[in-house]
Amino acid sequence: MSSNDLSRIQSLLKQMKLDGWLLYDFRASNTLALEILGIPATLHLTRRFFYFIPAEGTPVKIVNGIEADNLRHLPGQELKYGSHNSLETHLRKILFPGSTVAMEYSPNDAIPYLSKLDAGMYEFLQTFQVNIVCSGDLITLFNAVWTEQQYKENVPVAQELTKIVRRSFALIKEKITNNVAVNEYEVQQFIMAEFDRFGYITDYPPIVGVNENAANPHYEPTKEIHKPITKGDLVLIDLWAKQNKPEGVWADITWVGYVGTDVPEKYKKVFDIVREARDAGLALVTARFANKQEIRGYEVDDVVRNVISQAGYGEYFIHRTGHSITTEVHGSGPHMDNFETHDDRQIFPSTSFSIEPGIYLPGDFGVRLEIDAFIHADGRVEFTGDEKQEEIIAILA
């Protein structure tokens, strides 16, 4: 953590009227704290440590004497402990009754991604009579904000992914037209080869799902298990990638196509509902920022989910609306979610997230439409891809 990072955090603490941020870990259980503090999870972490950043003044690191080196790179006063009594003594030097302290804690486990504080430690810290609040917005502003360079490097990737989808549909058309067999795995591997051609990386191979496989949001074809793609099939392609560099940020999109010249009405009907839901989510975010109003992740999910529920398909939308996007494809910022969790974190400028509603009819087919949104520093909301899908692609047209 640099002096600039420290200054930025203390400025945020003052803005949020917090007395400090207490980062706590035991045996690499708080991956968020390790990332923020620049501590590798592979380090030999066997004892508890605390790193307290006050809104004003010098940080304090409380470390076990046999692992003091683990926090040597961080600025601040070092307090070593050995016994549990000495640990408590040190904590009393930084935690004052009535103060409000942010930690990786989510009341009622509403946002499990943030719940790194175990119940026992929470109870122990309550004996100091401090008010513990969620550090979610702090983490977003410190860890999920894109630089201008990251944005500029992301846009070409996002645009290219759409072109890769279209080339994938073209591959299917070529094979089907020439009566050559083609399957989900072959199309998936074509996409992987395209990633290699552009120097992109991904953490998992893309999803290529036909018919009932498209109704499984996390379906993944393999060399051993896959379905053929034939005339009359609905094909869902979900792909995500980024530039091959640590500071690269992800692009993540989903499209659907139909292997034929005329798309059946049953597919069009579901597609239109999902498209309306997707666009409602983007419109809400755009309007809130245009009017300089706050917006939180759960609110986006509510608006999107309401469109699908009103159309009678609510029970078939079985996942959150979207996720934060950073250097991790599922980033540490707010998710668009009031279904799996209640994500009340605020969406801030210079952050990105997906909007990806879906309707999944088990044993039949599924439609998911995924786009990525980026909030510029001035509040302008941008869809970063080459184009939004407005109708099912008739692959053989």
Burial class for 35, CB neighbours closer than 10 Å (0-12, 13-18, 19+): middle
Q: Domains along the chain?
A: 3-143 (3.40.350.10), 148-394 (3.90.230.10)
Q: What tens digit of pLDDT does each residue of 117-148 get?
A: 999 999 999 999 999 999 999 999 988 999 99
> How large is the average pLDDT for residues 86-107?
97
Distance CA(387)–CA(223), nearest Å, equals 31
Which pLDDT belongs to residue 368? 98
Note whether 64 and 11 are within 8 A (CB): no
Distance CA(150)–CA(271), nearest Å, equals 32
Integer distance in angstroms from the first to the last C-alpha of the chain?
55
> How large is the average pLDDT for residues 285-296?
98
pLDDT of 212 strictly over 80: yes
Which pLDDT belongs to residue 33? 95
pLDDT of 323 strictly over 80: yes
Which is it for the CA torsion 41, 43, 47, 53, positive or negative?
Answer: negative
Please choose, from the candidates 168, 113, 115, 163, the residue with its C-alpha nearest in 3D space to the C-alpha of residue 326: 113
Average pLDDT over all residues of the chain:
96
Which pLDDT belongs to residue 5? 85
Which pLDDT belongs to residue 3? 66
pLDDT of 260 strictly over 80: yes
The two tokens of residue 181 are 């067999």
27: left (phi over 0), alpha (psi -120 to 50) or beta: left
Q: What tens digit of pLDDT does each residue of 183-201 get?
A: 999 999 999 999 999 999 9
Q: What tens digit of pLDDT does each residue of 83-95 get?
A: 999 999 999 999 9
Q: What tens digit of pLDDT does each residue of 21-80 get?
A: 999 999 999 999 999 999 998 899 999 999 999 999 999 999 999 999 999 999 999 999
Which pLDDT belongs to residue 117? 97
Q: What is the DSSP letter of 346?
A: B
Which pLDDT belongs to residue 386? 86
Q: What is the DSSP letter of 385?
A: S
Which pLDDT belongs to residue 1? 65
Burial class for 115, CB neighbours closer than 10 Å (0-12, 13-18, 19+): middle
